[in-house]
């Protein structure tokens, strides 16, 4: 017999958790659509050359091949997508002629990454992306829309989250103004990004070891520790890029003022992917910052230059749904108990009541109430216990059908006898 075992990094939820996951996915989808984004689903598989077009390392990718592939056949052509942005770029380039721009799409799919799994970090997980792609110019309007959408989703889900916004131009301009070279900037950025995690002193030491002068180190940390727009005025040594970034950041900040402290301007955040060129986002849970970002994204100047000779700027953001759920299930106090969508269990006390039980269930379903009939005549305690275990809220008994129905509400233990139509109305 094969031993069943979990594959590390490939999460599988229990029924109650999956139900919750669907709720979350539905909420995300609903809000995305409320803002006018259209759904896109792309193939799980892309050509390796497409996936690597934006400089992704091969070791992150899971290749795809037939187990019984003929000897000599090339087996390194296809791989599972590791994010949803690269497939989007390919798709937009391919369908450029028939899409209307700005193209607003959402995409909720699993992605795969060949990483070592850890708390909140998976090899297979859901991402829920939205992006807007424009031709030539993309108004800043959309940079401000991203956090608005995300904030609304978190609000509907009852999750306390903090969306942080920064701008790559601010970072690049600032560091250029300090006289750092093109080679130094990415390295310095990566270290500065650890400020919150390892503390000011350690970052200063590391930067010093990289050959950055003491004054410059202080200046780097000065930007990273800025907490608001006003902390930035007077900085930047007159650098033009910095000034433009600041302008953009101000526009976004002003547009999102109504969200209060759910969105904060945070010049310390960096984001890993280097194709971001303007606004960048990340999103943390204040109650568990160690989990890392549960949602991030940014603006890029040119989505699909590898695939098409058109300038297609975009801005997008992606929710790490699996990471978010893993947190909510373990530390976030979400302990879903409902393990079935059934709202009413129709009891089947004896075989000769089967017709009545089936009819009750049919009428419930017609009224859009998920209902199931117990699968065999059995003692009623067993049937009620079944409903209890699955947290099915109601059990109906068919004895008095069709005039009335006996309904037991499990949470309270109360039982009433009334016509089904009355029960449906009161619901």
Cβ contacts of residue 96 below 8 Å, gap of 6+? 308, 310
165 CB-contact burial (10 Å; exposed 0-12 / middle 13-18 / buried 19+): buried
Q: Which residues of 60-86 are buried (b: 16+ CB within 10 A; e: fewer)?
A: ebeeeeeeeeeeeeeeeebbbbbbbbb
Q: Is 194 in the site for RNA (CB under 7 A)?
A: yes
Closest to 302 in 3D by CA, of 99, 140, 137, 57: 137
Closest to 7 in 3D by CA, of 80, 83, 114, 128: 114
Instruction: Give the interface segment with RNA, choosing from 15-23, 130-138, 293-301, 356-364 (CB under 7 A).
Output: 293-301
Which CA distances in Å does 408 have to 90, 374, 392? Answer: 55, 15, 11
Supply 393's token pair.
């809220």
Closest CB 251 distance from RNA, rounded Å: 24
Q: How far apart are CA 42 and CA 53, in angstroms?
A: 17
Supply 114's token pair.
């060949």
Closest to 356 in 3D by CA, of 420, 299, 278, 413: 420
Alpha-helical regions (H) of 160-231? 168-177, 184-192, 195-198, 200-209, 214-224
Output 114 or 139, the one with its CB closest to RNA.
114
Q: Is 408 in the site for RNA (CB under 7 A)?
A: yes
Candidate residues 107, 176, 277, 322; the one interacting with RNA per rule CB under 7 A: 322
Peptide bond into 179 cis (omega under 30): no
Closest CB 252 distance from RNA, rounded Å: 19
Instruction: Give the interface segment with RNA, choosing from 29-37, 217-225, 306-314, 392-400 (CB under 7 A).
Output: 392-400
Question: Could you say which residues in the range 97-116 bind RNA, by CB under 7 A?
Answer: 113, 115-116
Residues 284, 97 contacting (CB under 8 angstroms): no
Candidate residues 130, 144, 295, 405; the one interacting with RNA per rule CB under 7 A: 295
Beta partners for residue 45, in sequence order: 80
Output 169 or 408, the one with its CB closest to RNA.
408
Candidate residues 176, 279, 318, 342; the one interacting with RNA per rule CB under 7 A: 318
Q: In what order do the strands lie in the sheet with 63-64?
A: 45-47, 78-80, 63-64
Q: Is 240 in the site for RNA (CB under 7 A)?
A: no
Instruction: Give the interface segment with RNA, choosing from 14-22, 143-151, 175-183, 317-325 (CB under 7 A).
Output: 317-325
Question: Could you say which residues in the range 2-31 bind RNA, by CB under 7 A?
Answer: 3, 5-9
Question: Could you say which residues in the range 54-93 bind RNA, by CB under 7 A?
Answer: 83
Q: Is 415 in the site for RNA (CB under 7 A)?
A: yes
Q: Is 202 in the site for RNA (CB under 7 A)?
A: no
Output 197 or 227, the one with its CB closest to RNA.
197
Supply 269's token pair.
């955040």
Candidate residues 30, 141, 200, 389; the one interacting with RNA per rule CB under 7 A: 389
Return the beta strands (E) in 98-142 as ranges: 103-112, 124-133
Binding mask 323-362 for RNA (x = CB under 7 A): x-------------------------x-------------
Binding mask 248-287 for RNA (x = CB under 7 A): -----------------------xxx--------x-----
Supply 98's token pair.
């028939």
Residues 283, 293 contacting (CB under 8 angstroms): yes
Output 307 or 394, the one with its CB closest to RNA.
394
Point out which residues bind RNA (CB under 7 A).
3, 5-9, 83, 113, 115-123, 125, 127, 190, 193-194, 197-198, 271-273, 282, 292-296, 318-320, 322-323, 349, 379-382, 384-385, 388-389, 395, 397, 399, 406, 408, 410-413, 415
């Amino acid at each position: 017999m094969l031993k069943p075992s979990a594959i590390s990094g490939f999460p599988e939820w229990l029924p109650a958790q999956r139900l919750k996951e669907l709720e979350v996915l539905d909420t995300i989808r609903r809000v995305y659509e409320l803002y006018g984004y259209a759904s896109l689903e792309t193939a799980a598989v892309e050509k390796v050359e497409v996936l690597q077009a934006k400089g992704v390392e091969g070791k992150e990718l899971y290749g795809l091949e037939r187990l019984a592939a003929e000897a000599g056949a090339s087996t390194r052509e296809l791989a599972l997508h590791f994010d949803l942005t690269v497939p989007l770029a390919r798709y937009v380039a391919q369908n450029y002629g028939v899409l209307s721009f700005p193209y607003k799409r959402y995409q909720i799919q699993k992605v795969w990454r060949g990483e070592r799994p850890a708390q909140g970090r998976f090899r297979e997980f859901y991402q829920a992306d939205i992006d807007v792609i424009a031709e030539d110019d993309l108004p800043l309007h959309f940079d401000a829309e991203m956090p608005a959408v995300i904030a609304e989703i978190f609000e509907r889900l009852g999750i306390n989250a903090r969306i942080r916004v920064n701008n790559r131009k601010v970072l690049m301009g600032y560091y250029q103004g300090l006289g750092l070279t093109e080679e130094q900037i990415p390295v310095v950025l990566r270290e500065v990004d650890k400020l919150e995690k390892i503390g000011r002193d350690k970052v200063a030491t590391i930067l010093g070891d990289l050959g950055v002068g003491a004054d410059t180190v202080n200046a780097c940390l000065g930007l990273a520790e800025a907490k608001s727009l006003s902390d930035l005025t007077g900085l930047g040594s007159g650098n033009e890029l910095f000034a433009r970034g600041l302008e953009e950041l101000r526009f976004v900040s002003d547009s999102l003022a109504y969200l209060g402290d759910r969105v904060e301007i945070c010049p310390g955040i960096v984001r890993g992917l280097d194709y971001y060129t303007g606004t960048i986002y990340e999103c943390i849970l204040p109650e568990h910052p160690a989990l890392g970002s549960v949602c991030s994204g940014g603006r890029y100047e040119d989505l699909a230059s590898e695939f098409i000779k058109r300038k297609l700027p975009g801005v997008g953001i992606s929710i790490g749904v699996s990471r978010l759920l893993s947190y909510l299930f373990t530390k976030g106090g979400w302990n879903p108990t409902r393990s079935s969508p059934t709202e009413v269990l129709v009891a089947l006390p004896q075989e000769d009541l089967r017709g009545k039980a089936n009819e009750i269930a049919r009428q419930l379903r017609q009224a859009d109430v998920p209902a199931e009939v117990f699968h065999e005549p059995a003692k009623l305690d067993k049937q009620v216990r079944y409903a209890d275990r699955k947290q099915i809220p109601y059990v109906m008994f068919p004895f008095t059908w069709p005039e009335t129905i006996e309904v037991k509400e499990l949470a309270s233990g109360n039982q009433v006898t009334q016509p089904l139509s009355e029960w449906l109305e009161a619901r």
